[in-house]
Amino acid sequence: MIATVKVNNRNHTIDLSKPIDISIPMKGEASDVNAWYIEHPRIEPHTEGDFIGAVSKGAAVNFNDIWFNPHSHVTHTECVGHITEEFHSVNKNLNQYFFYAEVVTIAPEKFNDDFIISKKQLQYAFGNKKRDAIIIRTLPNLRDKFSKQYSKTNPPYVTEEAARFLVDKGIEHLLIDLPSIDKERDGGELLAHRAFWDFDGKMRKQATITEFIFVPNSIEDGTYFLNLQVAPFENDASPSRPVLYRNIEQ
């Protein structure tokens, strides 16, 4: 199906029959991707008395309970409510869903005992483009990102300076294949989060951060259209399914 979308006051043609899903699914198993020191998610039949919510156990329907944390277990999109005392819901703050986006690939560089994504790297990869969203694929880009156990591994992160660079470039939606844009243990500073949402200035309530994506190696760097949808949870973060489309006019 061919469709015309209007982004930044320009019409673009995309093929809706060729979506590129960059989310990581949650199976409710120990092999699911995980971070932040909590147990794995669970998807299991609801039980109550003699009732077991599974057709295989004699029930008329499958009736599962799901336990998970969006920040730990699944591709998720978060808003500034992740770091504010005042409640903000990503379901309320995200009210547009199609964006002009750029996919970039970066190999995090060594900095002391860490690996970081720096301003210099983003300047080189992104240049002077005007985009609503940036999708960062980190190297190495292996299938273990679907099942990696990130707790206590000090994953790569985005520097405060790099986050400010994205704000200066007008990026409102940052997507990355890591558990966080900040260092795993930083004493609660959350410098990149605070910079990206301009926490100490004119707070960017419309801006979002999406973590735990996976961009296949077959997808080339370049310009795409991003459809970013979240489950309608009134929470600072919600499971999400970011989907890319190519501009077929290119």
pLDDT digits (tens, 9 = 90+) for 198-212: 999 999 999 999 999
Whether the Cβ atoms of residue 177 and residue 135 lie closer than 8 Å to each other: no
Give how far the C-alpha of residue 33 lies from the chain's centroid of Cα atoms, to the nearest Å. 13
Compute the C-alpha angle 185/187/188, nearest 5°. 100
- Read off the amino acid at residue 237: A
For the chain, the helix, strand and coil percentages under 3-state DSSP, each to the nearest 5: 15, 35, 50
Task: Output DSSP code: residue 202.
Answer: S
pLDDT at position 187: 96
Q: Which domains does the chain have, with CATH numbers?
A: 2-24+75-245 (3.50.30.50), 26-68 (no CATH)
Q: Is the pLDDT of residue 9 over 80?
A: no
Q: Is the dihedral of CA 117, 119, 125, 128 positive or negative?
A: positive
| Enclosing H/E stretch for 123 | helix 119-126
Helix (H, G, I), strand (E, B) or coil at 120: helix
Cα gap 235→28, rounded to integer Å = 21
pLDDT digits (tens, 9 = 90+) for 36-54: 999 999 999 999 999 999 9
Q: CB-based contacts of 37: which residues, under 8 Å, 6+ apart?
A: 151, 152
What is the reported pTM? 0.95
- Read off the amino acid at residue 161: E
Q: Is the dihedral of CA 185, 137, 75, 200 positive or negative?
A: positive
| Enclosing H/E stretch for 72 | helix 70-73
pLDDT at position 88: 97
- Please give the radius of gyration of the chain, using alpha carbons only, rounded to the nearest integer: 19
pLDDT digits (tens, 9 = 90+) for 99-156: 999 999 999 999 999 999 999 999 999 999 999 999 999 999 999 999 999 999 999 9
What phi, psi does 126 have (nearest 5°)? -100, -35
pLDDT band at 249 (very low <50, low <70, confident <90, very high): low
Q: Is the dihedral of CA 19, 20, 23, 28 positive or negative?
A: positive
The string of DSSP codes covering 13-24 is EEETTS-EE---
Helix (H, G, I), strand (E, B) or coil at 210: strand
Nearest to 96 by CA among 19, 23, 173: 173
Cα gap 80→124, rounded to integer Å = 27
